[in-house]
Structure formats: structure tokens, C-alpha cells
């Protein structure tokens, strides 16, 4: 399931949660194919920078629960679609029109 969480430093991580018993025991959350979303203050307000992909060798990042400020929650459909588009070869349609 794709989730978004906020780290103590303010970075937001978008990714697919991979749970295991050892992660629960060690108080760690594992995120598969994570993307970092950063917001910056501009003259027109806050804007999100394009997601930065983290590329670990095993395609999974382990984050200690003590480093998380906001626990994982389900992002809106637009973020889930963006994540799917950036991490897979699936092309999402721009409308619901069927011909």
C-alpha cells in the first residue's frame, strides 16, 4: 500500500510499505521504492519540488520509528497516481473517456 509519512527533519517520504516481523520487533518501517517530497517557500507560497528517488541496492529503505514525526497515512489519489507513474512502466490515462 502506498503511504506518505513525515520525518523529523520535515521531509515527506512517499512509498510502498513492506512489513515484516523483524521490522515490528526492531521498531523499523520499510519503504519500497521511496520518493522524497520536499516543499520550498517561494514568492507565491509553498511549492513541492519534484520527488527525488532514493535508490538503495535492495530497493527498500528502513526508517526507525523514532525518526518519524507523522505516522504513515494514505495519500490523495493524485500522489498515488504520481508515485505509480514514476515507479512503474504503467501509463495512466489522463481522463476516464473510453472509446
- The 10s digit of each residue's pLDDT in 49-81 is 656 666 667 778 889 999 999 988 999 898 888
- Inter-CA distances, 1 with 48, 72, 83, 95, Å: 22, 10, 11, 23
Give the predicted TM-score (pTM) of the model.
Answer: 0.73
Q: Where are the domains of the chain?
A: 2-87
Task: Tell me what pLDDT residue 93 has.
Answer: 62
* Range in 20-29, 30-39, 54-63, 66-75 with the lowest mean pLDDT: 54-63
Instruction: Look at residue 3 and tell me whether its pLDDT is greater than 90.
Output: yes
Q: Of 2.60.120.260, 2.30.30.100, 3.80.10.10, 2.60.40.10, which CATH number belongs to 2-87?
A: 2.30.30.100
Residues 6+ apart with CB under 8 A from 10: 39, 69
Q: Which of 4-8, 30-34, 47-51 has the highest mean pLDDT?
A: 4-8
Across 74-92, average pLDDT: 80
Q: Which three three-digit cell numbers place residue 41?
A: 517557500
Instruction: Look at residue 22 and tell me whether its pLDDT is greater than 80.
Output: no
Amino acid at each position: 500500500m502506498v503511504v506518505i509519512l513525515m520525518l523529523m527533519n520535515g521531509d515527506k517520504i512517499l512509498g510502498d510499505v513492506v512489513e515484516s516481523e523483524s521490522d515490528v520487533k526492531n521498531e523499523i518501517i520499510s519503504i519500497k521504492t521511496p520518493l522524497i517530497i520536499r516543499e520550498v517557500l517561494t514568492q507565491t507560497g509553498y511549492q513541492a519540488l519534484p520527488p527525488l528517488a532514493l535508490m538503495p541496492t535492495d530497493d527498500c529503505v528502513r526508517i526507525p520509528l523514532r525518526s518519524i514525526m507523522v505516522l504513515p497515512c494514505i495519500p490523495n489519489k493524485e500522489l498515488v497516481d504520481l508515485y505509480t507513474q514514476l515507479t512503474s512502466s504503467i501509463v495512466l490515462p489522463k481522463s476516464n473517456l473510453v472509446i
